[in-house]
Amino acid sequence: MNGYFRPVLGRLPLLIRKHQTSASGRTGRYYRSSQEYLSGDFSGACHFGYTPPGQPFHLETALRAMEQELGKALALPHDSLVLDAGCGYGRVAATLADSPFCLNVVGVDLVPERLAEAHRYIESRGVSHRVELLNANYCFLPIEDGTVSAVFTMETLVHADPLEKALAEFWRVLKPGGRLVLFEYCVPSRDSVDPLRQWIAGKIAYHTGMASIERFTHDSFPILLGGANFENLTVSDIGPCVWPTWRWLFRRALCEYWAAALCGRFNWSNLAGALMIWPNRRRLGYKIVTATKPT
């Protein structure tokens, strides 16, 4: 049994099958090597921030605001059970377990080192009685059919490999009428950009483990989720509210990564991607997608 699983919630019939935890391929390499979210300014948050129009940008405020927007999108009563697919360092899970949302959260992640930090953080927030952590692959969930009220991803579905398997697993573990909530960015179709941008974007996607990013074009979510048997789909684009974070990342990348490149140490990490995101912001999108499993 996984060392991070503690049956404190008492009623979670989770471990019913041998679960696959291997972080294979490019996604696994990315997750095992990426630590800047823990050691840098993001303080463990693995997502962009949300800044309402006309409001000043402050990174920590924006990161917490994005988590609050997720809680609002879930729109669930207290004590509902939700799955955090790709929980990382546990920041989002802790926010949802805390007031005002007071949800019970099962966090799933591929990398034990991230779960160790998530465990520490959740304990420090005083919400460990509401959070379970599982070292598992969300394409092979060790969770019983029809047991969770909602499944969400916070910029983690882009790492699904294969995407159809992840969506099928989300559908399987949801209760009838359960909600799927995705906070994900989207990109232009590959054939709509010039060859140089295609090459750069491909390098960044490969080295950051975004196995499904090319599938997330601007109008793709209705097709993807409809094909996975979800219904009642809604899509809203909050791109302009994310732009201040992208601008901040771009400025940081200019300072840090051009200096590294001059020393021959340039690498294709998340901050390298920031060099492209902000200049191309009007070609990109950031979607809040909701759907339900039929009753």
For residue 122, give the nearest of 34, 8, 20 by alpha carbon. Answer: 8
| Measured distance CA(106)–CA(101) in Å, rounded | 15
Please give the pLDDT value at position 215: 82
**Which residues does residue 104 pair with via DSSP β-bridges, in sequence order?**
81
More confident residue, 27 or 216: 216
The pLDDT of residue 276 is 82
Please report, as a single letter, which amino acid is at residue 205.
Answer: A
pLDDT for the residue 274: 72
Assign 40 a pLDDT band (cuts: 50, 70, 90). Answer: low
**pLDDT band, residue 199 (cuts 50/70/90):** low
Binned at pLDDT 50, 70 and 90, residue 218 comes out as confident
The pLDDT assigned to 272 comes to 61
| Pair of tokens at residue 231 | 């219904």
- For residue range 151-170, what is the model confidence (pLDDT) as tens digits? 999 999 999 989 999 999 99
Is residue 80's pLDDT more than 70? Answer: yes
pLDDT band at 213 (very low <50, low <70, confident <90, very high): confident
Question: For residue 43, how many C-alpha atoms fall within 13 Å in the half-sphere facing its CB?
Answer: 10
CA distance 275 to 269: 10
Q: Would you say 250 and 277 are in contact if contact means Cβ atoms under 8 Å apart?
A: yes
- Whether 200 and 276 have beta carbons less than 8 Å apart is answered as yes
Question: % helix / strand / coil in the chain, to the nearest 5?
Answer: 45, 20, 40
**Statement: residue 39 has pLDDT above 60:** no
CA atoms of 230 and 215, how far apart (whole Å): 17
